[in-house]
Copies of this chain bind each other. A is one copy, B any other.
């Protein structure tokens, strides 16, 4: 099978750390160009804008859009209009409505759109899904607590309106939860904590339920120093489950049943190649929809100022 001519747009830290190694190790792709306001990729053609790139390198077949979400829609429209397949980093956009529109445009053009959720491809997620599929889930606790100063030092934009705040990591948890639970859930109550001097939340607590009355509670916090927590625990009629370390380790009734090295971005690119070969799209907005629901439903509490 011939390889897919890929271009990457928005060359920043996540591209260097994850996208470039994953693409280099995957024979499905040939990286032919990059476009970015600042970053460059060695050894290929680089451009300042996606327009210039699409014009100069017509052999591009697919593009990965890795710029901040508020600039993603405009780039995606240009790529789709040029007949390219599109990979969207997470979150897929700044609003649900714009991503719905992109999905409609991709369908109309007959190209593949992939709204990626990297945490869904953490090693033990499918094993957790398989375990829960055979059980009745009584309750679930999601604890996603990390130190924003460590992970986003001095990044002012994450605190602006339209930045998701603590939902930027929290949406990773939601992307796993919506994959592993056998039934759809929805928020019934939420509390969002906004630092006095910031426009985005630093912590959130959300209660969810489902048609059968599941008790699901999620706690997201960006103020955790020391050990970081990325855990999903469930109580079921077949015992307890702990999916920990961001989805990379699964324990059932206290015994580790699945632990493998992390392969999230290699998996994402394998999945994108399969979508392109099959002529399909994968645009599941459930994680972003839960975030929007929490903002709409949530009680806002002002907490102490946050300084980097």
Contact = CB atoms under 8 A, between A and B. Distances in A.
Interface of A: 73, 77, 94-98, 100-101, 104-105, 161-162, 164, 184-190, 194, 199, 210-211, 286, 289-293, 295-300
Given A105-B211, A199-B299, A299-B161, A293 B95 contact: yes
B295 A296 contact: yes
A119 B293 CA distance: 23
B97 A300 contact: no
Given A95-B296, A296-B295, A297-B94, A289 B100 contact: yes
A286 B104 CA distance: 14
Contacts of A96: 96, 289, 292-293
Contacts of A291: 296
A290 B292 CA distance: 10
12 contacts: A73-B186, A94-B188, A95-B186, A95-B293, A95-B297, A96-B289, A97-B186, A101-B210, A161-B190, A162-B296, A162-B297, A164-B296
Contacts of A95: 186-188, 293, 296-297
Contacts of A162: 189, 296-297
Contacts of A185: 97
A71 to B, nearest CB: 11
Given A95-B187, A97-B289, A97-B290, A298 B105 contact: no
A95 B185 CA distance: 11
Contacts of A286: 97
